[in-house]
Amino acid sequence: MTKTDGSAPLWQGFYRVPQLRRWQRAIAGRFACRVFAAPADVSQLSALEYAAQRVCLPGTRIALVSSGAEGLVIPVPLFPKFEGLRQYAVLLAEKDLPVAGLIAGISGQAFTLEAWHLGVGSCWMTGNYRRSLAKAHCREGEQVMAVMPLGQPQDPAGALKRQRKDLSALCQDDPAAWPHWAYKAAEAVRQAPSAINRQPWRMSFSGATLLLTSPRFGSIDDGIAILHLEAASFHCERSWRFAGNQRGVLLKAEESCDTI
């Protein structure tokens, strides 16, 4: 399905079609969940443990913390509050991993979408959490990239409240003129979460290739967008490469009818 060569980015060919199909479906329902009705139950937790092993790109790791999350969040005035929080995940990366933010963004969003598929809500956090609690889960040579509160969402329809820019604001040319796969992939990026909902991405299309850039390319937000592009184009023959200036990534794809 996915072409590989020596210089292919880490994520190329890493995820399988059934995973990507699940995540493509989860994109529409996922949202930043901060109010939990109950902790993930025993079977959800064991499925999350399995997912944490399966979705992490080389150099990243997810540690699950199944109780004791009460002190994790540092309350900040005007920031949304967390309620009913008992569990969380810690996303870790090796300190010498190149483009660690990007790679962690891909692994973490794969985990988030798998969690949503299992009925577990989550929220990316890189800001107002207690570093000491997360650092306790680091192994030698690792750094904490983010934490993710977890639990069963109080409002499973929370995605209806998401706020997003218009697709035209994210695209340098008119996405209505793009092939269907590229339009759907761009729409999946539009639905992606980003720190303080900045939605920093820009996309353009030329030939058979979609270009994703952002002002400071290489962040967790960019990794999240890449995972959404990969999930949305799971049915395509595709290949990835970094743009020459490392300021973006290029996804070349072709729709293959037999897998739709």
Ligand X SMILES: Cc1cc2nc3c(=O)[nH]c(=O)nc-3n(C[C@H](O)[C@H](O)[C@H](O)COP(=O)(O)O)c2cc1C
Contacting residues toward ligand X, per CB under 6 A: 31-32, 79-80, 123-128, 162, 193-197, 220-221, 224
**Considering the complex, what minimum distance in angstroms separates the CB of residue 193 from ligand X?**
3
The residue nearest ligand X at its CB is: 127
Q: In Å, how far from its chain's centre is CA 211?
A: 18
- The HSE-up count of residue 224 (CA atoms within 13 Å, CB side) is 25
CB atoms within 10 A of CB 160: 8
The nearer residue to ligand X, 59 or 108, going by C-beta atoms, is: 108
**Considering the complex, what minimum distance in angstroms separates the CB of residue 259 from ligand X?**
28
**Considering the complex, what minimum distance in angstroms separates the CB of residue 5 from ligand X?**
30
The nearer residue to ligand X, 32 or 40, going by C-beta atoms, is: 32
CA distance 171 to 60: 30
The nearer residue to ligand X, 126 or 209, going by C-beta atoms, is: 126
Decide if 150 contacts 88 (C-beta within 8 A).
Answer: yes
CA distance 225 to 190: 8
Decide if 70 contacts 151 (C-beta within 8 A).
Answer: no
The nearer residue to ligand X, 202 or 252, going by C-beta atoms, is: 202
The nearer residue to ligand X, 31 or 234, going by C-beta atoms, is: 31
CA distance 96 to 151: 32
**Considering the complex, what minimum distance in angstroms separates the CB of residue 58 from ligand X?**
21
**Considering the complex, what minimum distance in angstroms separates the CB of residue 218 from ligand X?**
13
Torsion of CA 71, 52, 35, 230, to 10 degrees: 130
